[in-house]
């Protein structure tokens, strides 16, 4: 008997991938927990966040990404709380980060050895664990040599406190320098249908050098969820109040692209734009799509991406839709944190 697409989606699990050079195998759809921290997302709801993490694990997502700076410790604490159930920590791969410090609500890059050695213990405590699976330098710090940062990461790796070393928002040249001192297993960079800068050099470099790639902002801060409307507004310190994609006249262009992609997803694949966007990333060759969510009902990408794929013609059509709808594209550069004064 033929199953409905909905039944197939409920029964399917997202595919998984090995992180080269480590013992880790992770789901190719991961859950991002930045918004759960509240900071830059207009506030947090702790119990909904915990329920979201557990819903993601139930749906076969095994990789949870967080960072100390997300809510200044709040996101890591929520992850620790969500996993404090017998058996859950052992089957979850935790990725967190290091190298941003905060003072009076402002953040700065600090990837010095001293900062890294302090942050690791803070993160282990908040996450209620004695090891971190993937530890990533959040942003390159121009005031600290990459060799110093890499050496500190190598020390933690040798001590067994971390099981894989990652960097985030690094260029090819910065990764090259880093790898002269320490192994590099993971790169995390922005990547989605609207933000493709890493395709030029970074993705090919990682592929050639066996570095797993985590693409963050898979839903472009919710645009590609398909739930945004022209009159959608954001509250408090929500970063989408300053994100140039969410301002006129660009917002209408991006929404138009999403509408047309959603029509294509329904017509050709019996899916929605959120599934198409994540499937597209995976078929472009990124190892993992990092999707943010903070309510259990938002964890819907993982189920809809299994057991189908896009061919070259589909991807060319998708590209045409984006290129014609978005006349004035802009990247995610506005999110880069400043260096220390
Ligand atoms: P994203 O995946 O681009 O968008 C997440 C947001 O989209 C959600 O918070 C939610 O916004 C909305 N959304 C998601 N699913 C939805 C659904 N089914 N229906 C309606 N709305 C939905 O997220 P991101 O959080 O910016 O990026 C993902 C993760 O990547 C982060 O959480 C973080 O772990 C990581 N990241 C890393 C860096 C870095 O520098 N390394 C930078 C950015 C992100 P609302 O909750 O407001 O509805």
Q: Which of 293, 301, 304, 331 gets mutated to test ligand 1 (max ligand atoms within 8 A of its CB)?
A: 293
Cβ(291) to ligand 1 under 6 A? Answer: yes
Low-confidence ranges of the chain (pLDDT < 50): 1-2
| Alpha carbon of 199 to ligand 1 centroid (Å) | 21
Q: What is the pLDDT of residue 2?
A: 41
Cβ(253) to ligand 1 under 6 A? Answer: no
State the sign of the Cα–Cα–Cα–Cα dihedral 18, 22, 26, 28: negative
Instruction: Give the tokens for residue 305.
Output: 């991406």
Q: What is the pLDDT of residue 302?
A: 79
Q: What is the pLDDT of residue 9?
A: 59
Q: What is the pLDDT of residue 180?
A: 98
**Distance (Å, rounded) from C-alpha 21 to C-alpha 295?**
34
Q: What is the pLDDT of residue 5?
A: 56
pLDDT over 70, % of the chain: 96
Cβ(290) to ligand 1 under 6 A? Answer: yes
Residue nearest to atom 36 of ligand 1 (CA): 216
Segment 272-320, tens digit of pLDDT: 999 999 999 999 999 999 999 999 999 988 789 999 999 999 999 999 9
208: Cα separation from own chain's centroid: 22
Cβ(225) to ligand 1 under 6 A? Answer: yes
**Distance (Å, rounded) from C-alpha 317 to C-alpha 126?**
45
Residue nearest to atom 29 of ligand 1 (CA): 32
Segment 227-262, tens digit of pLDDT: 999 999 999 999 999 999 999 999 999 999 999 999
Q: What is the pLDDT of residue 11?
A: 59
Cβ(288) to ligand 1 under 6 A? Answer: no
| Alpha carbon of 89 to ligand 1 centroid (Å) | 23
For residue 303, give every residue at least 6 positions away whose Cβ sits within 8 Å of its Cβ, in sequence order, or none: 9, 10, 12, 14, 59
Q: What is the pLDDT of residue 105?
A: 84
Cβ(33) to ligand 1 under 6 A? Answer: yes
Domains in the chain, start-ordered, CATH in brackets? 2-335 (3.20.20.100)
Cβ(212) to ligand 1 under 6 A? Answer: no
What atom in ligand 1 is closest to the CA of residue 295?
46
Establish whether the linkage from the previous residue to 159 is cis, with ω within 30° of 0. no
Q: Are the beta carbons of 219 and 228 closer than 8 angstroms? A: no
Q: Which runs of consecutive H residues, i.e. helices, occur in 109-201?
A: 113-127, 146-159, 172-179
What atom in ligand 1 is closest to the CA of residue 35?
9
Q: What is the pLDDT of residue 14?
A: 74
What atom in ligand 1 is closest to the CA of residue 41?
47
Catalytic residue numbers read: 70
Q: Which of 9, 32, 215 gets mutated to test ligand 1 (max ligand atoms within 8 A of its CB)?
A: 32
């Amino acid at each position: 008997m033929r199953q409905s697409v909905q039944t197939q989606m409920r029964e399917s699990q997202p595919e998984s991938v090995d992180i080269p050079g480590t013992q880790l195998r992770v789901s190719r759809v991961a859950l991002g927990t930045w918004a759960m921290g509240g900071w830059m997302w207009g506030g947090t709801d702790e119990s909904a966040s915990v329920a979201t993490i557990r819903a993601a694990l139930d749906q076969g997502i095994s990789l949870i990404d967080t960072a100390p700076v997300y809510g200044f410790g709040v996101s890591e604490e929520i992850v620790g709380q969500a996993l404090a159930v017998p058996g859950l920590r052992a089957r979850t791969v935790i990725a967190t980060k290091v190298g941003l410090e905060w003072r009076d609500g402002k953040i700065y890059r600090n990837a010095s050895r001293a900062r890294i050695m302090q942050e690791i213990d803070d993160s282990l405590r908040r996450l209620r664990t004695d090891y971190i699976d993937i530890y990533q330098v959040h942003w390159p710090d121009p005031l600290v040599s990459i060799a110093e940062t890499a050496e500190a990461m190598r020390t933690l790796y040798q001590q067994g406190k971390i099981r894989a070393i990652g960097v985030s928002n690094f260029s090819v040249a910065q990764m090259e320098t880093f790898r002269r001192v320490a192994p590099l297993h993971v790169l995390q960079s922005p990547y989605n249908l609207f933000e493709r800068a890493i395709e030029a050099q970074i993705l090919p470099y990682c592929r050639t050098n066996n570095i797993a790639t985590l693409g963050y902002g898979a839903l472009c801060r919710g645009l590609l969820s398909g739930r945004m409307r022209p009159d959608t507004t954001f509250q408090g310190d929500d970063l989408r109040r300053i994100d140039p994609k969410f301002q006129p006249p660009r917002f209408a262009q991006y929404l138009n692209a999403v509408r047309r992609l959603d029509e294509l997803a329904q017509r050709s694949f019996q899916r929605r734009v959120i599934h198409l966007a994540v499937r597209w990333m995976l078929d472009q060759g990124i190892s993992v799509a990092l999707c943010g969510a903070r309510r259990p009902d938002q964890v819907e990408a993982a189920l809809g991406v299994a057991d189908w794929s896009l061919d070259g013609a589909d991807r060319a059509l998708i590209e045409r839709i984006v290129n014609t709808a978005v006349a004035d594209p802009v990247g995610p550069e506005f999110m880069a944190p400043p260096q220390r004064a």
